[in-house]
Amino acid sequence: MIGVIGGYGAVGAQAVRVLAGWGVGPLRIGGRDVDRAARVAAGVGAGARAVRVDVADEASLVAFVDGCSLVVHCAGPSHRTAVRVARAALAAGVPYVDAGTADGVGSLRPGHHTRVAVFAAGALPGLSGVLPRWLARQGFDAVRGLTSYAAVLDAFTATGAEDYLHGVLGSDSEPSAAWVEGARRPGAMARAAGLRLPYLPRPVTAVPYLDAEGEQLARDLGLHDGRWYTALDGEHLPAALDAARALSRAEAVAALCRATALDVAGRNPYAVLLAQLDGVAAGRPVSRTAVLRAPGIAELTGAVTAVAALAVLRGEVPPGVHLADAVLDPVVAVRRLREVPGVALSVAEAGIAELSVVEEGAL
């Protein structure tokens, strides 16, 4: 029995659909709204049932976890609920996968070394670390540089906006920082407005940052240089983010929801990850760019969560508390992700700047 908490939200419902499509189950779909959970259960057919669970109620969590072989947490805000749900699952000896935050991971390590818990098993963070690790295995002898863009055009829910702000404004993410000559360099990068990137329909605002996932990735791949950007499509979200630090969290969440609703109005949502690696292959310098596209960030996050859940169910993750990008086999994870409808991945034998020139010339 796989228990999916928040299994009727946009992320959770996608994880449920993907797992059901792989024939994994039975599925216990949990949340406070049993009617919504029941509709998702009916949509995936036999072997799925709705169960009420309140993550703020310890007894409710204990009852939900009982009888599960795996608990998948997709409810939000993740940074306020993940550790509570993880503790309930691990205390019952049940493996755990979290679609969202890595907050509180350190507090779970003592005493849980014989169990499996995977955090940050979503798109950002998660796939943002898995994708460059996968690309590094595509014929490179060595890698030296990474340039990464995460572009999302989608409307935030209130819980999604709160988790996003927690990540952007938290101590884990340093604006304008980069990995330069093998070390973190604060203030090394600047925001760029009106930037044209391949596979994106309009110019974007590129906001540089360096978080813990990126720094660990740089160390693991032995990068000399690394640059990570969030690519913002639209004028309202950048303005809302600039104002967020001066607002209360509730005001900032509401502002982000309004901003993304305005930016996405009349447009097709999307999520695009661009990862360029520079290095050596067959004895010569090369640049390769992985391009991953999905119809929305929730669909992509739910698909990655399902990939992580399957890895745990198959015994591919060792005991311990892990971050998804560092513990998942990137080759296996990407192969499974490519099986998900709507997810497209290609690799170009060129850098992002070259691809941008080609696309602009084609227009």
At 100 the pLDDT is: 87
The backbone torsions φ and ψ at residue 67, rounded to the nearest 5 degrees and listed phi first, read: 90, -5
How much is the pLDDT for 121? 96
Q: What is the pLDDT of residue 362?
A: 46
Q: What is the pLDDT of residues 277-292, one digit of tens each?
A: 999 999 999 999 999 9
The pLDDT of residue 117 is above 90:
yes
In CATH, the number for domain 127-296+341-362 is 3.30.360
Closest Cα partner for 232 from 152, 301, 147, 149? 152
Average pLDDT in the 246-264 region? Answer: 95
- Residue 110: phi and psi, rounded to 5, are -65, 130
How much is the average pLDDT of 69-81?
Answer: 91
Mean pLDDT, rounded, for 177-203: 95
What residues does each domain of the chain span?
2-119, 127-296+341-362
Distances from the Cα of 28 to the Cα of 19, 35, 37, 122, angstroms: 12, 14, 9, 20
Give the residue carrying structure tokens 């000399």.
224
Q: Which two tokens stand for residue 252?
A: 């900032």
Q: Give the pLDDT mean for 302-312.
A: 98
* CA atoms of 292 and 261, how far apart (whole Å): 24
pLDDT at 346: 97
Cα–Cα–Cα angle for 34, 38, 44, rounded to 5 degrees: 150
Angstrom distance (rounded) from CA 148 to CA 150: 7
- Domain 2-119 - what CATH class? alpha beta
Whose CA is closest to 277, among 136, 156, 101?
Answer: 136
Residue 109: what pLDDT? Answer: 58
Instruction: Tell me what the mean pLDDT of segment 169-197 comes to.
Output: 91
- The DSSP code sequence of 202-253 is S-EEEEEEEEHHHHHHHHHHT-SEEEEEEEE-SSHHHHHHHHHTTS-HHHHH
226's enclosing H/E stretch is strand 225-232
Return phi, psi of residue 218, to 5°: -60, -40
Nearest to residue 155, comparing CAs of 283, 245, 260? 260
Q: How confident is the model at residue 361 (pLDDT cuts 50, 70, 90)?
A: very low
